[in-house]
A and B are shown apart, each in its own frame.
Chain A
Amino acid sequence: MKILHYWRAIWGIIWRECWRFVTQRERFVSALVRPLVWLFIFAAGFRSALGLAISPPYETYILYEAYIVPGLCSMIQLFNGMQSSLSMVYDREMGSMRILLTCPLPRWFLLLSKLLAGTAVSILQVYVFLGIAWCYDIRPPVQGYGWILPALVLSGLMLGALGLLLSSFIKQLENFAGVMNFVIFPMFFMSTALYPLWKIKESSALLHRLAQYNPFSQAVELIRFALYGQFNQHAFVYTLVAFIVFMTLAIFGYNPSKGMMIRKGGAG
């Protein structure tokens, strides 16, 4: 039964990823500490420096802490996406990626399963983070916690696909530091995670343009609107298209005849 085979394989891959995450306690804690530092320290200090006008999806004045929460949810997913890309490079060096790629299923399906597994882990982290934020009195409408789930799946897939794409281009682990500097930081700071678009426009038209076209901004907005029970169609389409583009390129990168694996040379 072919469908049963697919089903077992996808659960096997998701189970392995989640199990690895749970057993690596340091990874779990550090994944949570990062957004919490931003929330408790940065946002608290920044609150008075930044005045926020009422803009959708918010209907009243909100505290800076409340504004920053969707951005931090995306940040969790961004780091997680890059971290699974790190684990891909590591896996490939350790060879378990080879075991995955030699199993008798289409490569796109294996990569997509790997991506879903990473997304599942990131969603787990986001909900724990939102739980802590709730205790800190950041309480979006209850139904927002449900609406946010499909948004998190899409944004997690998009950021994971970006990581996957990068992993097919990175040959060695050391280069991951470069990814931090050249991908994670610019994507995060050049987005609507920390400040709204109109605020960026006040200081630089170029930055505003860059932030607007940054797929990470769109993922943030998708989550922000979902958390307040609204659907941001533009952000949804943008994130979806970005996911499809990144995923296609990643599959290309892992294609045995066309991709980067050969150009990088060496069988080991």
Chain B
Amino acid sequence: MSQALRQTNCKEIALSIEDLSFSYSDKKALDQVSFDIQSGECTVLLGPNGAGKSTLFALITRLYDARSGRIELCGFDIKQQTSKALARLGVVFQQSTLDMDLTVMQNLSYHAALHGIGGKLAKQRIQEELERLNMYDRRQEKVRQLNGGHRRRVEIARALLHKPSLLLLDEPTVGLDVPSRQDIVEHVHRLAKDENIAVLWATHLIDEIYPDDRVIILHKGQVKATGTVDDVLQQTATSSIKDAFYALTQGVQA
């Protein structure tokens, strides 16, 4: 595949997963998972606890390596062209990954340095992203002093510093109050539209899905349904995503 074609691809398919399987010694965590995610689209990965969401994220971020199957980010194979693929990826992990004793600014500068962004450009990007989340005034505060919602905002700003094509969020709203949750859900949906970023959002909270989102329902390591909200409702002959989810996961509590 030529470089030019890859660049074009990234405008459309940001993440492509093909026949991905993964096991922990004897337990199968993912079983022949395949799906694509387009730029500018917000895809919600829905699954009960233990469905394989975190394993899938560990594989996309290359913390683990899949023995079978293929993961491509913007046309770059995660195994063969790891650095090029990772450069296009922004991640917000489930657990906070900020340094509590450093300020917001120091945390973000560190991340910028890891991505090779320095000097004025780093400062400019940090300002842009923090202003977008109304956090710029708090840049000199230590992360320890921020509440859960604000820490999450800083993590989202950080994940966007290097202008990724794909943003992964692993249950980012867990433990947040309702207004903070709403803020983050709205912000991320806006990002996908305005910045043409592909978003993969893992959650088990059904009310975080917007009508025009795409949905992937993962259960026991297998993709049970994929498509727009309407597609999934049609496939399952149900009237709400909640019912579809229960039908597909055989009554497993979300």
**Chain A residues in contact with chain B, CB under 8 A?**
1, 4-6, 8-9, 11-13, 15-16, 19-20, 23-24, 94-96, 98-106, 255-257, 261-263, 265-268
Can you pick out 16 interface pairs between chain A and chain B where the beta carbons lie within 8 Å of each other? Answer: A8-B117, A9-B114, A13-B114, A15-B110, A16-B110, A20-B99, A23-B101, A102-B61, A104-B87, A105-B83, A255-B65, A256-B63, A257-B65, A261-B64, A263-B25, A266-B24
Picked from A1, A104, A255, A267, the residue with its CB within 8 Å of the CB of B54 is: A267
Give, as a whole number of angstroms, the nearest-CB distance from B166 to chain A.
Answer: 12
A255 cross-chain contacts in B, Cβ below 8 A:
65
Picked from A4, A20, A101, A268, the residue with its CB within 8 Å of the CB of B118 is: A4
A8 to B54, CA, bound (A): 30
Give, as a whole number of angstroms, the nearest-CB distance from B39 to chain A.
Answer: 19
A-B contact count (CB 8 A): 106
A180 to B85, CA, bound (A): 39
B57 cross-chain contacts in A, Cβ below 8 A:
267
A100–B114 contact, CB under 8 A? yes
A24 to B112, CA, bound (A): 24
Task: Look across to chain B and name the residue whose beta carbon is closest to the beta carbon of A263.
Answer: B25
B96–A267 contact, CB under 8 A? no
A4 cross-chain contacts in B, Cβ below 8 A:
116, 118
**Chain B residues in contact with chain A, CB under 8 A?**
24-25, 54-55, 57-58, 61-65, 67, 82-87, 89, 91, 93-99, 101-102, 106, 109-118
A262 to B29, CA, bound (A): 12
A6 to B116, CA, bound (A): 7
A100 cross-chain contacts in B, Cβ below 8 A:
114
Give, as a whole number of angstroms, the nearest-CB distance from A257 to chain B.
Answer: 3
A95–B113 contact, CB under 8 A? no
B83–A267 contact, CB under 8 A? no
Picked from B63, B83, B93, B113, the residue with its CB within 8 Å of the CB of A261 is: B63
Q: Known interface pairs A12-B113, A99-B111. Does A267 touch B58 (Cβ–Cβ under 8 Å)?
A: yes
B86–A102 contact, CB under 8 A? yes
B67 cross-chain contacts in A, Cβ below 8 A:
257
Q: Known interface pairs A257-B65, A265-B25. Does A16 touch B97 (Cβ–Cβ under 8 Å)?
A: no
Give, as a whole number of angstroms, the nearest-CB distance from B48 to chain A.
Answer: 15
Picked from A16, A99, A104, the residue with its CB within 8 Å of the CB of B83 is: A104
B55–A267 contact, CB under 8 A? yes
Task: Look across to chain A and name the residue whose beta carbon is closest to the beta carbon of B90.
Answer: A102
Task: Look across to chain B and name the residue whose beta carbon is closest to the beta carbon of A103.
Answer: B114
Picked from A8, A20, A23, A267, the residue with its CB within 8 Å of the CB of B64 is: A267
Task: Look across to chain A and name the residue whose beta carbon is closest to the beta carbon of B81.
Answer: A104
Picked from B84, B93, B99, the residue with its CB within 8 Å of the CB of A104 is: B84
A94–B97 contact, CB under 8 A? yes
A256–B65 contact, CB under 8 A? yes
A15 cross-chain contacts in B, Cβ below 8 A:
110, 113
Known: A99-B111, A101-B62, A103-B115. 13 other contacts (CB 8 A): A1-B116, A5-B116, A8-B113, A16-B110, A23-B101, A95-B95, A95-B97, A96-B98, A98-B93, A102-B61, A255-B65, A267-B54, A267-B63
